[in-house]
Amino acid sequence: MQQFTEWTGYPHGSGPARSIELVTAELASNAVRHGSLAGRDFRLTLLLLPHGFRIEVTDTRPERLPPPVTAQPPEETSGRGLFLVEAYADGWGCTARDAYTKTVWAEMRFRTTGS
């Protein structure tokens, strides 16, 4: 995530960069898999906050809210994405502000590197 590296000074492959990449990938893949309608895309927004970083993914299925996070049985081959988001993020949630979109967000705290 070049933008994260530029904003924070953390190098590619560092722990914080890998955590941001994982959470971003999970939220984006959920938008593609569960939140898309034909002919519509999702929007990814990255925000540098005073205390960390916020990832927002907005899709076109406000009626499909994220399910509660529960551990999946070992034999299940999917359904662990939000479990990972919850494990890596300091906070996450979902906001549906209108009848056409919803935004799933995650915030992760870190210290700046001074770069």
Q: What is the pLDDT of residues 30-55, one digit of tens each?
A: 998 877 777 778 999 999 999 899 99
Supply the range of the domain harboring residue 7: 2-66+80-109
Q: Is residue 75 part of a domain?
A: no
Six token digits for residue 82? 């939000």
**What pTM, to 2 d.p., does this model score?**
0.85
The confidence band for 27, taking pLDDT boundaries of 50, 70 and 90, is: very high
Asked if the structure places residue 105 within a domain, the reply is: yes
* First vs last C-alpha separation in the chain: 16
Q: How many domains does the chain have?
A: 1
Amino acid at 46: L
The answer on pLDDT for 115 being more than 50 is no
DSSP symbols for 12-67: TTSHHHHHHHHHHHHHHHHHHHHS--TT---EEEEEEETTEEEEEEEES-TTSPPP
